Amino acid sequence: MPGIFIPEMTGQWEYKLRQMEHRELDRASFMRDIRHLTKQVVEKTKAYSKAAKEKEYPEFHATCGVCGSTEGYKQTEEFYGCKNPKCKVRIFKTVASRVLTEDEIRTLIEKRFVGPLEGFRSKKGKDFSAALQVKDDMKIAFVFGDGSDPDSINWDECPVITDCPVCAKKGRKGEKIYETADAYQCKINATETSKCNARLPKKLCQKDITPENAREFFADGKTSLITGMISKRGRPFSTFLVCTPGEKRIMSWEFPPREAKPKAEKKPKKPAGVSGRG
């Protein structure tokens, strides 16, 4: 918001608060100033939003790869949309925190595919690379080249680890846990994470998770003690991985009890009045 987060404004508020502490400024005057500032900010924000909505953007010339229309794409502040009313394709200018260039957008519109591109950022703050594709349902999807895209996984070639405990708990019998390129996961999890969160990464804290670890995790509910993990601070540690199907997070950590430190031997106290000097 303009005017609120600048250092000068923060300094003014702190000064006025000190004046109130010393009874040089009454509370009513201070609150009146706050209300006046708030009103100004709201009015400026409304004016900015109105100007953004009413702003006219130039037409974007491109042939739609979905419907074949040559009428071009209309442009708004956030996206490009096909001018054919029957075509619902929308290409957003920013995808996963990455701003697309006009050339990239034109390629995606006309060829329905662009990339791979670098500079995307996930919701967890991790950088990643991927291609973008306009699918038949007119939605934009990521396409990964390393097999982590669910659509590129050949499930027939993935080894089965055990039954899926999450699906079993929800009454979906017969679903399995598979070993994929980067995880041990259920098929449903690969396409609809809201329905199944059965997924265990193949690498945790710089430690490879073996198929046997995964079998223990999903089938027995707890792995054997896994040693050699490295913390964010670079310290090695050991842990059990506990499976909690039905919970928001399927994995939790269980640490072995710490070994008690040997107690230091207490030095015998010297009798009162005895000097330590010879």
Q: Answer yes or no: is 12 within a domain.
A: yes
Count: domains in the chain? 3
Q: With bands split at pLDDT 50, 70 and 90, how would you rate the model's confidence at 140?
A: confident
Q: What is the dihedral of CA 229, 231, 235, 240, to 10 degrees?
A: -40
Answer yes or no: do 90 and 1 share one domain.
Answer: no
Range with the poorest average pLDDT among 132-141, 181-190, 221-230: 132-141
Tens of pLDDT, residue by residue over 156-178, are: 889 999 999 999 999 998 999 99
Answer yes or no: do 167 and 229 share one domain.
Answer: yes
Q: Answer yes or no: is 268 within a domain.
A: no
Q: Answer yes or no: is 43 within a domain.
A: no
- On whether the CB atoms of residues 199 and 181 are closer than 8 A, the answer is no
Answer yes or no: do 107 and 162 share one domain.
Answer: no
Q: Answer yes or no: is 150 within a domain.
A: no
Q: Is the pLDDT of residue 148 over 60?
A: no
Q: Is the pLDDT of residue 219 over 60?
A: yes
What is the pLDDT at residue 74?
A: 85
Answer yes or no: do 225 and 170 share one domain.
Answer: yes
Look up the domain containing 13 and give its range.
1-34
Domain boundary among 119, 143, 167: 143
CB atoms within 10 A of CB 72: 18
Q: Answer yes or no: is 194 within a domain.
A: yes
Rounded to whole angstroms, the Cα distance separating 142 from 116 reads 9
Answer yes or no: do 182 and 245 share one domain.
Answer: yes
Answer yes or no: do 192 and 241 share one domain.
Answer: yes
Domain boundary among 105, 123, 143: 143
What is the pLDDT at residue 146?
A: 47
Rounded to whole angstroms, the Cα distance separating 5 from 10 reads 7
Tens of pLDDT, residue by residue over 225-274, are: 999 999 888 899 999 999 999 898 999 999 998 776 666 666 666 666 55
What is the pLDDT at residue 2?
A: 46
Answer yes or no: do 246 and 160 share one domain.
Answer: yes
Q: For 52-76, give the DSSP string.
A: HHHPPPPPB----TTT---S-EEE-
